[in-house]
Amino acid sequence: MAATTAPHNESSLPRQVQRRLRAEEVSELVARYLSGAEVGELAERYGCHRDTVSKVLDRAGAPRRQRTVPPHRVQDAINAYVGGALLATISAELPVPPTAVARTLRASGVQIRPRPGWPRG
């Protein structure tokens, strides 16, 4: 008798594998973060999502870092933005998230342009 398999449903997605970190992995993850490791780097190392790493750090009470434009590059970012460069272009050069660039520019008194194609409010 031939074995039968269930029909393949192309619209079904593979089941998400839950990765539960052991207590010693959590301690190691927090220690690595406090030593300077990035959230994305830790997520890759421990085989979990960035959000999982963030939640582990929050539960452990680890002080969170906010990525910022390096102080010696602030004037470069201002000059580039005032000269017409996009936040995304500046952020890729530094590299920090576009939100960090915008936050730095605002703190320096630069008005952020509306995004192209977005309604002005």
- The answer to whether 110 and 76 are in contact (CB under 8 A) is no
pLDDT of residue 38: 87
Q: Quick one: tokens of 111?
A: 């008005």
Under the banding of pLDDT at 50, 70 and 90, the label for residue 7 is: low
pLDDT tens, 62-112? 998 878 899 999 999 999 999 999 999 999 998 888 999 999 999 999 999
- Judge contact between 32 and 65, C-beta under 8 A: no
pLDDT band at 12 (very low <50, low <70, confident <90, very high): confident
Task: Supply the pLDDT for residue 8.
Answer: 57
**What pLDDT does residue 11 have?**
66
- Burial group, residue 33, by CB count within 10 angstroms (0-12, 13-18, 19+): buried
Q: What is the DSSP letter of 73?
A: G
Query: pTM of the entire structure?
Result: 0.55
For 18-57, the pLDDT digits (tens) are 778 999 999 999 999 999 898 989 999 999 999 999 999 9
Q: Which two tokens stand for residue 62?
A: 């680890």
Measured distance CA(1)–CA(10) in Å, rounded: 27
Q: How confident is the model at residue 5 (pLDDT cuts 50, 70, 90)?
A: low
Taking phi over 0 as left and psi of -120 to 50 as alpha, with beta for the rest, 68 belongs to beta
